[in-house]
A and B are shown apart, each in its own frame.
Chain A
């Protein structure tokens, strides 16, 4: 059968999370810190709005771009929270999660062989999405030393002729890295200078803990070259609804709409109705969940460092990305050893690209008590795994 499969698909590796998932899902009593979604159920008022819509017979197609009421609400929300304004009529498209938004944007933008810069470690779909759109991806490293922020110097170094797109995800899954406005402005200037389109995946932007979030779209010359991608999965705990959106220049949105129209037609109407409720009345729920995450972040960061794993506090997201170097184990051996001996699941950093080597991702989207127990177990594991420190020279 393999001979029938398209070359660029058959050579595409499966997600590194996949085999790990297979093992974990067969084990009992595992505390999983490997989950990339909120532990909170979608707030009840949002679920109830979806039920109400179903009762009212809202079971039909919507406009390809999405319900106009929802696009208006998105436009208002984005303007209030990100200080960029988009016309609901032709600068906003409702997508099936940010994942579809990324796919649409890449397919709309790339000719075969066009190059895409993206920072690494990063979300598992970035590299494959570029490949599937017949592009060539170029990773830009981020580093633990500066909190996995993205630096323009590294982008400059990685840049080569033929680069058309820069993909960024801040706050970042898996590192939790964020970027202060000064650094972001330099990146924006570089994008303008090199005439790059920026795909900015801001799915974790409500979940920041130390400093306010800034979108790259706000800098001079950026709105016209940025596709702002966002959704409801993380902040509103709506992963299973599969609902997101893209905002950008009308011509680009129109190009994305063409693909969306022929492949997806529209995002599910019930998810759109739920999203509308989320934007209208969901802010308090977001705030309450953010406070919980903040508290858990401080717990986990404190405990991991105390256990001997160097871990800086992530500026956003619900992930920590500690180094396991102190144990002398590779990220893979650490993750498998921890799972085997203490029944705690974390994801090896290399699942998010080669630059994740030496790190693991642990999600704190899990109850506080569970996190305390998981940290106890990690501490036990580190104590047994850490090689005796080298004898000090006399």
Chain B
């Protein structure tokens, strides 16, 4: 595996300088690897992992299960791509099982998210039904545990 990709997968939130140190390659090589990954469409971009419940009251996230009618020639692609273009949509996945698309949505308030579902999403031709679940609390976000104290303080400071 590309050494830089490996570090990205491990999620060590390193700067390019640190990546260079860790992987033992020059910083220019790290940048070159990153560029290559971008060109190949593997590396899509940086996003911080945030626990927004601490920052702003009122941010609302929901998971929506969507059942829809596939189209001849394109299956679910056209509709899924169209849905994905909405800014409200964080992520969108085609799923096996009881529904077809799983959509992660966020918005500033319950009303805004509800309005997106009732006005934009359910009214699209091809959408058979939606089932919206609002998220109440986050316990883990992008591999980071939330609200779980680290055990570091428990180690003895010197041991044989």
Contacts and interface: CB of A to CB of B under 8 A. Distances in A.
Interface of A: 15, 17, 20-21, 24-25, 30, 32, 34-37, 39, 41, 123-125, 173, 295, 298-299, 345, 347, 368
B135 interface: no
Nearest to B22: A295
B55 to A, nearest CB: 24
A25 B158 contact: yes
Across the A-B interface, the 4 shortest Cβ-Cβ residue pairs = A34-B158, A21-B158, A124-B160, A36-B159
Interface stretch (B27-35, B62-70, B112-120, B148-156): B148-156
B157 interface: yes
A23 B157 CA distance: 10
A299 B159 contact: no
B155 A35 contact: yes
B138 interface: no
A17 B156 CA distance: 12
- Interface size class, chain B: 10 to 19
A299 B21 contact: yes
Interface string B130-160: 0000000000000000000001100111111
Given A17-B158, A39-B155, A299-B22, 18 more contacts: A17-B159, A17-B160, A25-B156, A30-B157, A32-B157, A32-B158, A34-B158, A34-B159, A35-B155, A35-B156, A35-B158, A35-B159, A39-B152, A123-B160, A173-B160, A299-B21, A345-B157, A347-B158
B149 to A, nearest CB: 11
Contacts of B160: 15, 17, 36, 123-125, 173
Nearest to B14: A368
Nearest to A40: B151
25 contacts: A17-B158, A17-B159, A20-B158, A21-B156, A21-B157, A21-B158, A21-B159, A24-B157, A24-B158, A25-B157, A30-B157, A32-B158, A34-B159, A35-B157, A35-B159, A37-B159, A39-B155, A41-B151, A123-B160, A124-B160, A295-B22, A298-B24, A299-B21, A347-B158, A368-B12
Contacts of B18: 368
Given A295-B22, A298-B24, A368-B22, A37 B155 contact: yes
Contacts of A30: 157
A345 B157 CA distance: 9
A25 B154 CA distance: 12
A20 B160 CA distance: 11
Contacts of A35: 155-159
B21 to A, nearest CB: 7
A37 B160 CA distance: 8
B19 to A, nearest CB: 11
Contacts of B158: 17, 20-21, 24-25, 32, 34-35, 345, 347
Contacts of B22: 295, 299, 368
Contacts of A41: 151
Nearest to B155: A35
Contacts of B12: 368
Interface string B2-31: 000000000010000010011010000000
Contacts of A36: 159-160
Contacts of B152: 39
A347 B158 CA distance: 8
Contacts of A32: 157-158
Given A39-B152, A41-B151, A34 B157 contact: yes
A250 B10 CA distance: 45
Contacts of A34: 157-159
B35 to A, nearest CB: 23
Contacts of A125: 160
Nearest to A15: B160
**B24, B156, B159, B160: most-surrounded residue (chain A CB, <10 A):** B160
A128 to B, nearest CB: 11
B37 to A, nearest CB: 20
Contacts of A21: 156-159
A20 B159 CA distance: 10
Contacts of A25: 156-158
Contacts of A123: 160
Contacts of A37: 155, 159
Contacts of A15: 160
A261 B156 CA distance: 30
Nearest to B7: A295
B150 to A, nearest CB: 8
A345 B151 CA distance: 20
A41 B151 CA distance: 7
A129 to B, nearest CB: 12
Contacts of B151: 41
A127 to B, nearest CB: 12
A385 B39 CA distance: 50
Contacts of B24: 298
